[in-house]
Structure 1
């Protein structure tokens, strides 16, 4: 068996996937640390994602401490014969009093909820956890939309809300050489097409 290359997550390229549709996604409810399961649609999305990754040479998969990421990873893990690396530090944001409430009650993605994590505390937690992850590569991080936004924020993209659907797959690639200003990464789809990442007007404060 060939030796596997171990590397820090943020030392090089890595794949990212948002979990499949959860039962709370289906209801348009807030589910940060609420441990929602996948809906029937989410289970099918997870199976479809595994097919998209069939030709990809993955040797590790990272999941968070929330079950919806574990369920989403199962078809990929079975296909690749892998066991997941679990990192609860990459969990979705704690939305405090908004947990389980309709999304319409949330003023903004970057709103600091009563009893929950502030945006900055959440982004700091995600970044610390990402900096400490060390796994065999190539790797897939299977996490949450909030995790995705926090990583982008800490990479220098600003407060952004890029459209990343359930079970959507992208790749984070370091730019070489790194630019003098701005993010040193790009995000592309599996075909290599760059993702447009721009702040929305409501979140540009």
Structure 2
């Protein structure tokens, strides 16, 4: 299988797993929905779990790059970029293909913390926290890692509640809560914009 065909397989498998879950999608269905024979899949990936890991790595790269770009496009100042997390989430939640967080689903289906799939899901969340911490530092937070963790908790709550069909205002409500958390975390005189 050529590199481009492998990349196509991973991209298509990502869509199938995201829509249907990991355990629920067998190799026969995966072959049918990706248009790649099981024999061809197994030529490049020894196991289904290896393919799942490849899809998670791709999703991690895609999602973090997308979120970073949206935050930067929606706001110029670091403090406002932290709030823009929730504007970006609102956009994502409104997409017809939205099916919650692929990493939360992966960690729920592969619950042992030492399992590579669980560890890959946890690494995605850690990398988001690192990114949020960097922005919180630029915004002047006295405890940037703590602020980043709080925003990550709010972000995860948005995704779960949106997945459970709690209404379109969940991201807006989360942004209001994030505003309070950010205001508390930034010292007097830190870069604050008028609302």
Question: What TM-score, normalized to structure 2?
Answer: 0.27
More strand by percentage: 1
By relative contact order (CA 8 Å, sep 6+), the higher-ranking structure is 1
More helix by percentage: 2
